[in-house]
């Protein structure tokens, strides 16, 4: 028995040792399975083309077909094996396009053209005086220290068209650019229209395309239109018939935002030829936008305007006055039994007009053209309703009481203040005077419009501007209107006085700030405008600003500023307010 036990002991020792070894390897395998940083499968990384442990970060040198994972089992480590840490792979950096872009233009007048490069566009700007026909002789070349090749080259360009340019750098990487020629802006947005035929009148539309760039300005950068289809015709009366610098009506093929304004199809280009300051409309409309009860006022934005490649001068582009939810909303659905309408007082020479269908007169007012609704025939029910509403309104105005039932008085007060501060005799129920009545509502004055002859620029103004422009001017048509009687009503004038005290300082501050900011933007373009239209020292239309005294653009601007200050002082005096 003892001998048997002696023989059994070595066997037991070997068995215990073997079990211990097996248990040890089992624990090691468990630890590997639960490790948060497992040893990577190198062959799989090579297949993906990522660096292995011995790589320096470049692509693998092993061809894809030789990078198949081995099917032989992985050898088990011996008890003396010690797992070695695997280095974290270094990501391969993404290659990036790197080139010095140096565009150059050669050809006629190229020394006058400036070239710039943005992130994805090479842009060449030519001066206003440049004949666009010469641009067809230009050649574009691109050089630089780090350019490998240029895939695209072209000789001869059309303005505004974007031409594709692919540039390859020295590493073989490509980048797409566009190249275009546009007019050189002078701090104002540029509007350029190309027509398919001449614009001959205010009736017939001509098709064309419009390009707008605000990129040379801070306020309108990125607000661009590139080749939108449109129709264009003339607009205005005196501004069309008596000047070569015409105004235009635009109708886009599709609604679009113009320089940040609400999407619309209908726009207006105003020439401002009678206004040598070029600022009267912009200043007046900005003032009107401060008034709570002038519910909609168009926005005028000064631009440099080109037509068929020719510089036409400084214009204002603005939204057109019309019935719309965002403009003059007369069809609001509140009370169809009390229908809405929209009226323009003045002349419409563009068509044959029929009394009591297109327009009507009242005992105080003449030539009230019905813009909305469409009147099918003379003395139709729609026209009879409108005429009756005006008759009742005028009876109340003449009586000096009860007019509040028919007129939005807060609105009338705001309209009166703007008309008087700007001294606009044109809008005094004579011409370019709009008013409307929403469904179920009252007569509302506005939107205000047409200030190129305001601010002391009308031969019908009162000498020294010492009178109410809408009730007492020397032109007979402003001596017997609604305001002629409203200014005699103490209740109405008390409202005017209280409102004037409330808004006076704000209006004067806004006027001064607008003149400063707009003058800074327009002054360079104004020089070009008056080179083209040599009128600074000449009488134009019915303007009365002394052109021999105010014979520079700067003097014309200062005339407007001084006029506003003096006009406000007169209103203070007339209302009994200490300014």
pLDDT at position 19: 54
Tell me the per-residue pLDDT of 345-364, one tens digit each, with 9 for 90 and over: 987 666 788 999 999 999 99
pLDDT above 90: residue 386: yes
Contact status, residue 33 vs residue 12, Cβ threshold 8 Å: no
| Position 50 pLDDT exceeds 50 | no
| pTM of the model as a whole | 0.80
Torsion of CA 369, 375, 376, 382, to 10 degrees: -140
Distance of CA 8 to the CA centre of its chain: 102
pLDDT of 132 reads: 83
pLDDT tens for 61-114 read 333 333 333 333 344 444 455 556 666 777 777 888 888 888 888 877 777 888
**Is 94 or 173 the better-scoring residue by pLDDT?**
173
Least confident of 153-157, 243-247, 282-286, 395-399: 153-157
What is the model's pLDDT at position 258? Answer: 98
The answer on pLDDT for 479 being more than 80 is: no
User: What is the end-to-end Cα distance of the chain in Å, rounded?
Assistant: 133
Residue 402: which region, alpha, beta or left (left: phi > 0; alpha: psi -120 to 50)?
Answer: left
pLDDT at 481 over 50: yes
- Check residue 18 and give its pLDDT: 57
Is the pLDDT assigned to residue 181 strictly greater than 60?
Answer: yes
Residue 336 exposed, middle or buried by CB count within 10 Å (0-12, 13-18, 19+): exposed
Q: Give 484-507 pLDDT, tens digit per residue.
A: 999 999 999 999 999 999 999 999
Q: How far is CA 287 from CA 218, 433, 508, in A?
A: 22, 17, 9
Give per-residue pLDDT as tens, 111-134: 788 888 888 889 888 888 787 877
Residue 111 CB partners (closer than 8 Å, separation 6+): none
pLDDT at 292 over 60: yes
Q: What is the DSSP letter of 355?
A: B
More confident residue, 195 or 120: 195
Q: What's residue 236's pLDDT? A: 80
Buried b or exposed e, range 403-436, using 16+ CB within 10 angstroms: beebbbbebbbbbbbbbbbbbbbbbbbbbbbbbb
- Rg (C-alpha) for the chain, rounded Å, is 39
State how far the Cα of 533 lies from the Cα of 537, in Å rounded to an integer. 11
pLDDT of residue 194: 96
Interatomic CA distance for residues 27 and 203, integer angstroms? 96
pLDDT at 82: 54
CB 52 within 8 A of CB 44: no
Q: What is the mean pLDDT of residues 308-319?
A: 95
How many percent of the chain have pLDDT more than 70? 82
C-alpha closest to that of 246 among 289, 206, 298: 206
Is the distance from CB of 299 to CB of 579 less than 8 angstroms?
no
Give residue 565's pLDDT.
96
**What confidence tens digit (pLDDT) does each residue in 453-463 have?**
999 998 777 76
Cβ distance 571 to 468 under 8 Å? Answer: no
pLDDT category at 165 given cuts 50, 70, 90 is confident
| Whole-number pLDDT of residue 63 | 32
Task: Identify the H or E element spanning 366.
Answer: none
Which residues on neighbouring strands pair with residue 234, listed in sequence order? 248
**pLDDT digit string, tens, across residues 211-226:** 999 988 999 999 999 9
Q: Does the pLDDT value for residue 199 go beyond 80?
A: yes
Position 60 scores a pLDDT of 33
Which residue shows structure tokens 């000789």? 155
pLDDT at position 57 over 60: no
pLDDT of 158 reads 86
The pLDDT, as a whole number, for residue 407 is: 98
* Cβ atoms < 10 Å from Cβ of 493: 17
Please tell me the least confidently modeled range out of 274-288, 377-391, 454-468: 454-468
For residue 41, pLDDT over 80 is answered with no
Cβ atoms of 547 and 537 closer than 8 Å: yes
- Residue pLDDT, tens place only, 410-435: 999 999 999 999 999 888 898 889 99
Phi, then psi, of 137 in degrees rounded to 5: -95, -5
Regarding predicted confidence, which is higher, 302 or 80? 302
Own/partner long-range contacts of 155-163 (Cβ < 8 Å, ≥24 apart): 157/181, 159/126, 159/132, 159/135, 159/183, 159/192, 159/309, 160/192, 160/211, 160/226, 160/227, 162/121, 162/226
State how beta strands 206-213 and 264-270 pair: unpaired
Q: Which of 48-62, 145-159, 314-328, 370-384 has the lowest mean pLDDT?
A: 48-62
């Amino acid at each position: 028995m003892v001998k048997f036990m002696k023989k059994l002991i070595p066997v037991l020792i070997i068995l215990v040792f073997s079990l211990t070894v097996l248990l040890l390897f089992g624990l090691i395998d468990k630890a590997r399975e639960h490790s948060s940083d497992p040893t990577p499968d190198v062959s799989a990384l090579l297949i993906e083309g990522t660096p292995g442990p011995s790589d320096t970060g470049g692509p693998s040198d092993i061809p894809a077909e030789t990078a198949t994972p081995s099917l032989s089992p992985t050898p088990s480590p011996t008890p003396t094996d010690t797992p070695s840490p695997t280095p974290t792979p270094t990501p391969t950096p993404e290659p990036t396009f790197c080139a010095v872009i140096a565009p150059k233009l050669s050809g006629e007048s190229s020394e006058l053209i400036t070239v710039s490069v943005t992130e994805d566009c090479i842009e060449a700007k030519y001066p206003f005086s440049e004949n666009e026909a010469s641009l067809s002789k230009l050649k574009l070349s691109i050089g630089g220290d780090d350019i490998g090749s240029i895939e695209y080259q072209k000789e001869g360009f059309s303005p505004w068209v974007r031409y594709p340019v692919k540039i390859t750098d020295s590493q073989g990487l490509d980048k797409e650019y566009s190249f275009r020629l546009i007019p050189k802006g002078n701090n104002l947005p540029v509007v350029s229209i190309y027509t398919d035929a001449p614009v001959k009148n205010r009736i017939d539309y001509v098709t064309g395309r419009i390009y707008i760039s605000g990129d040379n300005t801070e306020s309108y950068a990125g607000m661009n239109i590139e080749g939108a289809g449109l129709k264009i015709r003339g607009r205005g009366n005196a501004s069309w018939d008596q000047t070569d610098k015409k105004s235009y009506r635009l109708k886009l093929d599709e609604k679009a935002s113009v320089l940040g304004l609400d999407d619309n199809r209908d726009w207006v280009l105003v020439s401002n030829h009678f206004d040598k300051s070029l600022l009267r409309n912009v200043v007046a409309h900005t003032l009107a936008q401060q008034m709570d009860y002038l519910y909609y006022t168009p926005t005028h934005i000064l631009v440099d305007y080109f037509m068929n490649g020719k510089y036409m001068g400084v214009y204002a582009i603005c939204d057109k006055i019309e019935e719309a939810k965002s403009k003059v909303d007369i069809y609001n659905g509140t009370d169809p039994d009390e229908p809405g309408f929209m009226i323009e007082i003045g002349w419409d020479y563009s068509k044959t007009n029929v009394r009591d269908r297109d327009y009507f007169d009242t005992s105080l007012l003449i030539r009230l053209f019905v813009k909305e609704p469409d009147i099918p025939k003379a003395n139709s029910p729609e026209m009879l309703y409108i005429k009756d509403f005006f008759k009742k309104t005028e009876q109340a105005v003449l009586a000096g009481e009860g007019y509040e039932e028919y007129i939005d008085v807060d609105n009338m007060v705001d309209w009166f203040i703007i008309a008087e501060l700007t001294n606009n005799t044109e809008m005094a129920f004579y011409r370019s005077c709009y008013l409307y009545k929403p469904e179920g509502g009252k007569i509302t004055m506005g939107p205000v419009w047409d200030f190129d002859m305001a601010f002391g620029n009308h031969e019908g103004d009162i000498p020294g501007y010492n009178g109410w422009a809408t009730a007492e001017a020397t032109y007979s048509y402003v001596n017997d209107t609604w305001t002629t009687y409203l200014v005699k009503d103490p209740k109405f004038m008390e409202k005017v006085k209280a409102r004037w005290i409330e808004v006076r300082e704000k209006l004067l501050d806004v006027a001064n700030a607008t003149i400063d900011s707009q003058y800074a933007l327009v002054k360079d373009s104004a020089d070009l405008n008056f080179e083209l239209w040599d009128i600074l020292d000449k009488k134009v239309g019915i303007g009365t600003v002394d052109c021999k005294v105010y014979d520079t653009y700067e003097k014309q601007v200062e005339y407007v500023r001084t006029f506003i200050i003096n006009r406000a002082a007169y209103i203070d005096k007339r209302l009994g307010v200490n300014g």
